[in-house]
Amino acid sequence: MRNGITIQTAANEMHVSRHQLTVWLKTTEQELFNPWLTHLRIEEAKLMLKDHHEWSNDHIAEACGFSSRSYFHTVFRKQTGLTPSQYAEHASRGSV
């Protein structure tokens, strides 16, 4: 996932109009584009943390489109209640 994705870019890649994407987003829990995109990035980060214990948080943050490791850490903790390292530890024990 790259950094700097706009709603128009996402709509184009999904082969829908920007309007269609906006209308659909209103039916989701996040309701707006940026919260929805952040949610997708965090879900992808969770998968990476579970499947790739050897990867650094810097690598995962970059791969998921976060602008920095510290921003990734802040958003991840806000969304999950755990730091990325704590999440990875829980994942390795099968408790997430």
Taking only the tens place, the pLDDT of each residue in 40-63 is: 999 999 999 999 989 999 999 999
| CATH 1.20.1250.20 given to domain 7-92 | no
For the entire predicted model, the pTM comes to: 0.86
Structure tokens at 69: 């490791």
Domain locations along the chain:
7-92
Concatenated DSSP letters of 41-94? HHHHHHHHHHH-TTS-HHHHHHHTT-S-HHHHHHHHHHHHSS-HHHHHHHHHTT
Q: Could you tell me which of 29, 54, 26 has the C-alpha nearest to residue 43?
A: 29
Average model confidence (pLDDT) for the chain? 93
Gap between the Cα atoms of 47 and 17, Å rounded = 29
pLDDT band at 4 (very low <50, low <70, confident <90, very high): confident
